[in-house]
């Protein structure tokens, strides 16, 4: 099958062309050792199967980031799975001079090429006209006019594949390969030959562009006029914060409606199956293991879809580059960039879509740091845990006669999460090495109406990737946790039956709940809770809290449901009963209440910092293509949660 | 005329870039089509004076102040 590469500069419109060519047939290809993804799709054209590959956007073959480096590696490696036979090079008419640099470098590698020119209409508005037949004559390869919005010209592009040709510019094919291999070996650190290469190419490019384009002096463009408002140092920042607030609302509130439908749907199916199947391990596995796991995957789809659509909208319109510009000064102090801020803010709703959104960060180091610190932001799943614990341990008093103590604690928790994320970024930026050039230059593209088809395609691809890639891991972890909670050693189960018979007389109203509570206590997970008690005792936790810590490892919100089971509350939604029971719990060793103020503070701090989310873990694994970072993140967050929790507990004990 | 860096240019002023004092800045600018001598107009700044918002060769660019200090011209 012929492999056709779509290559071009960032903002050349090449992904829109790829989307028009391939539609929903896109697949994502990952390559070992790199965090970069390449989208490809197999299509039939004129009864011939062809594979189309969308390469990451790059300005030249002298890479400055991991994705750009991958382009060079693939083009030099003839054995690579996506090494192309033909290149469809996409260049924008607005910036023809700059876009022909990479084109000339690729031509020198000997690739048969077709040149597609996009944004002719936008260029015309700016007073630039391009004579395409003249350009074709000068560059010596077929030139096709393309429209990224309507898709006009894409079929013409494919038809011209058979006419694709090659013309060398400054080196023979062998010399160019040798030159780039040498640069690759030196990790592109020797800049002088690169400068000479670029200057030599521009001499010829300049004369070609002068010959085939006509430029009229244009007045201030629409983009420049809009930018006087949108990137105003204060006004622009306020508009950006307003947009982020809107995004936060969308993820937090709007997504809640479909999320509730999904949860209710799964509860309904679960109850239906329980009624249909006779009680036993299979019914339990299906409802509490598999269905619960599936629910944990599907429930995130609305948030991922909303965030992906919003980010795609910002990217497509050209606003994302302005957001990076506005916040760069603040974020770079913490080793991050403006795109990181979008992920961090989204992380307060849910870390899953926020981590997926880091794909838009081209600098691999900044992207990795953002992935690693985003789970410190207090997500919506922490809210039920915080609400329960605050109701149990923090009195409803007014601080300074105005502020509610409980509200103040909740605010402090959110603030502590954000501060920790930024401090962790600062530390990680000092530790993680980078080979990327420490130069920040960003092109601010012209504003454009977004392509709705492209946005929908982006949303579809992001959701599909999450469901298939992260979903597998979430499902496996859910089933393992189910097995640990469902099964227990025989001798423990006999003890459980005895205990149940004894207690049934005093708990006639909720026997089922009592059975669940006793069975959970005598299950493997219950035994684990007791086993870890000595480790968690310094934090003020007992074995019952230990069980909740283990069950909520997959999803922190499970903490509330586990507490409800452990304290034999019929309806976990009825938090008042749960709060009363939890408050009344007495520690048999000390004779004092279990949930004292220090214990509650300690638990709050633990849930604020600990990972406690299998879905996040799975997504980190998915996005970094290695378990290394996911496990390091889990250990670091859990370790820090333990230390901070212990400190908070000691200070609170001293205080009280 | 005295040489200066892009970092010293006022808003709205046009700067003619002649040279770079750093090779990494040079190659990054050249990849973006900014080959000296080229006219660069400063259109504004973000909060705190960094990054700069400039127009060069029909392209709008954001450049950090520390990189602008390595661009020499008049």
Tens-digit pLDDT string for chain B (74 aa): 688 999 999 999 999 999 999 988 999 899 998 999 999 999 999 988 989 999 998 889 999 999 999 999 99
pLDDT at A33: 42
Query: Given this model, what pLDDT does residue A381 score?
Result: 77
Asked if B51 and A329 come within 8 Å (Cβ–Cβ), the reply is yes
Q: How far is CA A70 from CA A34, A65, A74, A75, A184, in A?
A: 8, 9, 6, 9, 11
Nearest CA in chain B to A442: B62
Instruction: Point out the residue among A223, A228, A233 whose CB comes nearest to the CB of B45.
Output: A233
**Smallest CA–CA separation between B27 and chain A, in Å?**
6
Q: Which residue is associated with the tokens 């409802």?
A: A287
Q: Is A437 exposed, middle or buried (CB count within 10 Å of its CB: 0-12, 13-18, 19+)?
A: buried
Distance separating alpha carbons of residues A207 and A123, to the nearest angstrom: 19
Write down the pLDDT at residue A633.
Answer: 95
Residues in B closer than 8 angstroms to A328, CB to CB, are: 46, 50-51, 62, 64
Strands (E) located in A436-537: 441-443
What ipTM was predicted for this assembly?
Answer: 0.94
| Interface contact flag, B32 A64, Cβ < 8 Å | no
| Segments in chain A below pLDDT 70 | 25-37, 217-219, 248, 252, 360, 435-438, 469-470, 506-510, 513, 564-565, 567-577, 588-589
Which of A441, A443, A448 is best to mutate for the B interface (most B CBs within 10 A)? A441
Cross-chain Cβ contact B31/A101 below 8 Å? yes
Beta strand ranges found along A93-170 (DSSP E) = 112-118, 128-130, 143-145
Task: Give the closest of B26, B30, B59 to A443, CB-based.
Answer: B59
Name residues whose C-beta falls within 8 Å of residue A56's C-beta, 6 or more positions apart in sequence: A36, A38, A67, A68, A70, A71
Q: Which residues of B touch A (CB under 8 A)?
A: 23-33, 35, 43-48, 50-51, 53, 55, 57-64, 67
Residues of chain A found within 8 Å of residue B17, distances taken between Cβ atoms: none
Nearest Cα to B70, choosing from B39, B24, B31? B24
Name the residue among A128, A199, A445 with its Cβ closest to that of B35. Answer: A199
Distance of CA A447 to the CA centre of its chain: 25
Residues 6+ apart with CB under 8 A from A434: A363, A364, A365
Q: Quick one: pLDDT at residue A247?
A: 79
Please check whether residue B16 is in contact with residue B27, taking contact to mean a CB–CB distance below 8 angstroms.
no
Would the CB atoms of B62 and A199 count as touching at under 8 Å? no
| Inter-CA distances, B55 with A116, A247, A633, B16, B41, Å | 26, 31, 42, 12, 5
- Which tokens belong to A236? 């622009």
Quick one: CA dihedral A282, A287, A292, A298, positive or negative? positive
Give the CATH superfamily of A2-215. P-loop containing nucleotide triphosphate hydrolases (3.40.50.300)
Intervals of CATH 3.40.50.300 along chain A: 2-215
For residues A215 and A434, give the distance between their C-alpha atoms in angstroms, rounded to a whole number.
Answer: 41
CB contacts of A94 in chain B (<8 Å) are 58
Closest chain B CA to residue A96: B33
Kindly state the tokens that stand for A316.
Answer: 């497509």
Instruction: Please answer yes or no on whether A195 and B29 come within 8 Å at the CB atom.
Output: no
Name the residue facing A328 among B26, B46, B57 (closest C-beta).
Answer: B46
- Of all helices (H) and strands (E), which one includes residue A40? strand A37-45
* Cα dihedral A343, A415, A620, A428 sign: positive
Q: How far apart are CA A610 and CA A646, in angstroms?
A: 13
B43–A224 C-beta distance less than 8 A? yes
- Judging by beta carbons within 10 Å of its beta carbon (0-12, 13-18, 19+), is residue A610 exposed, middle or buried? buried
pLDDT at A437: 62
pLDDT tens digit sequence for A321-334: 898 899 888 888 89
Q: Report the alpha-carbon distance of residue A607 to residue B38 in Å, rounded.
A: 55
Determine how many CB atoms are found less than 10 A away from the CB of residue A338: 26
What tokens appear for A428 in the block? Answer: 């990680």
Instruction: Give the integer Cα–Cα distance in Å for A246 and A223.
Output: 23
Query: Torsion-angle region of residue A646: left (phi > 0), alpha (psi -120 to 50) or beta?
Result: alpha
Q: Walk me through the domains of chain B, giving residue ranges and CATH numbers.
A: 4-73 (2.30.30.90)
- E strands, A112-259, where? 112-118, 128-130, 143-145, 213-215
The SS3 assignment for A592 reads: coil
* Min distance B52 CA to chain A CA atoms (Å): 9
Chain A residues whose CB is inside 8 A of the B46 CB are 231, 233, 236, 325-326, 328-329
Q: What are the residues facing A441 on neighbouring strands?
A: B63
Six-digit token string for B11: 């808003």
Q: In chain B, which residues have their Cβ closer than 8 Å to the Cβ of A236?
A: 46
Task: Report the candidate in A652, A581, A641 with the shortest Cα–Cα distance to residue A611.
Answer: A641
Contact across the interface for B46 and A326, Cβ inside 8 Å: yes
């Amino acid at each position: 099958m012929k492999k056709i590469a779509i290559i071009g500069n960032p903002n050349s419109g090449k992904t829109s062309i790829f989307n028009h060519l391939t539609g929903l047939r896109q697949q994502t290809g990952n390559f070992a050792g790199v965090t970069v993804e390449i989208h490809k799709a197999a299509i039939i054209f004129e009864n011939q199967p062809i594979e189309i590959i969308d390469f990451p956007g790059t300005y030249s073959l002298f890479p400055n980031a991991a994705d750009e480096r991958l382009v060079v590696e693939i083009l030099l490696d003839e054995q690579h799975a996506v090494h192309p036979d033909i290149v469809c090079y996409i260049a924008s008419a607005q910036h023809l001079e700059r876009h022909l640099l990479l084109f000339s470098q690729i031509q020198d590698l000997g690739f048969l090429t077709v040149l597609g020119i996009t944004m002719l209409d936008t260029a015309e508005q700016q007073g630039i006209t391009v004579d395409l037949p003249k350009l074709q004559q000068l560059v010596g390869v077929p030139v096709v006019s393309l429209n990224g919005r309507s898709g006009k010209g894409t079929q013409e592009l494919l038809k011209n594949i058979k006419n694709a040709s090659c013309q060398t510019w400054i080196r023979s094919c062998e010399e160019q390969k040798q030159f780039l291999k040498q640069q690759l070996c030196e990790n592109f650190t020797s800049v002088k030959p690169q400068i000479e290469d670029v200057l030599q190419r521009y001499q010829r490019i300049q004369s070609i562009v002068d010959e085939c384009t006509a430029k009229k002096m244009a007045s201030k463009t629409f983009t420049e006029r809009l930018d006087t408002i949108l990137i105003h140092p204060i006004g622009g920042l306020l508009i950006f914060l307003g947009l982020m607030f809107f995004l936060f609302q969308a993820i937090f509130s709007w997504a809640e409606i479909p999320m509730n439908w999904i949860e209710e749907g799964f509860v309904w199916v679960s109850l239906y199956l329980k009624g249909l199947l006779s009680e036993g391990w299979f019914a339990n596995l299906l409802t509490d293991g598999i269905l619960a796991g599936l629910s944990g995957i599907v429930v995130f789809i609305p948030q991922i879809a909303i965030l992906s659509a919003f980010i795609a909208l910002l990217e497509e319109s050209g606003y994302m580059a302005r957001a990076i510009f506005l916040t760069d000064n603040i974020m770079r102090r913490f080793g991050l960039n403006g795109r990181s801020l979008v992920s961090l803010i989204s992380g307060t709703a849910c870390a899953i879509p926020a981590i997926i959104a880091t794909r838009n960060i081209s600098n691999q180091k900044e992207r990795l740091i953002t992935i690693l610190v985003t789970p410190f932001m207090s997500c919506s799943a922490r809210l039920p845990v915080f609400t329960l614990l605050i109701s149990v341990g923090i009195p409803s008093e007014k601080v300074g006669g105005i502020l509610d103590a409980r509200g103040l604690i909740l605010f402090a928790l959110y603030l502590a999460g954000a501060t920790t994320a930024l401090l962790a970024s600062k530390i990680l930026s000092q530790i993680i090495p980078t080979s990327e050039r420490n130069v920040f230059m960003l092109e601010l593209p012209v504003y454009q109406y977004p392509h709705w088809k492209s946005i929908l395609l982006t949303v579809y691809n992001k959701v599909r990737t999450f469901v298939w890639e992260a979903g597998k891991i979430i499902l496996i972890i859910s089933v393992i946790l189910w097995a640990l909670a469902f099964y227990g050693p025989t001798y423990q189960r006999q003890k459980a039956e005895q205990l149940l018979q004894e207690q049934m007389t005093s708990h006639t109203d909720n026997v089922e709940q009592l059975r669940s509570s006793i069975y959970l206590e005598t299950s493997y997970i219950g035994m684990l809770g007791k086993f870890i008690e000595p480790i968690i005792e310094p934090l003020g936790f007992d074995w019952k809290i230990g069980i909740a810590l283990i069950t909520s490892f997959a999803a922190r919100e499970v903490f509330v449901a586990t507490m409800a089971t452990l304290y034999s509350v019929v309806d976990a939604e009825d938090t008042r009963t749960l709060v009363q029971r939890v408050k009344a719990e007495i520690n048999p060793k000390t004779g004092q209440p279990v949930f004292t103020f220090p214990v509650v503070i300690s638990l709050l701090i633990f849930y604020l910092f600990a990972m406690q989310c299998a879905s996040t873990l799975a997504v980190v694994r998915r996005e970094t293509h290695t378990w290394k970072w996911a496990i390091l993140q889990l250990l670091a967050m859990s370790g820090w949660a333990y230390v901070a929790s212990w400190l908070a507990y000691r200070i609170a004990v001293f205080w009280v | 005329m005295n040489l200066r860096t892009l970092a010293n240019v006022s808003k709205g002023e046009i700067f003619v870039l002649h040279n770079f004092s750093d090779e990494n800045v040079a190659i990054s600018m050249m990849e973006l089509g900014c080959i000296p001598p080229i006219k660069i107009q400063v259109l504004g700044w973000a909060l705190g004076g960094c990054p700069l918002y400039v127009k060069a060769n029909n392209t709008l660019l954001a450049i950090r102040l520390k990189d602008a200090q390595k661009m020499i011209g008049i």
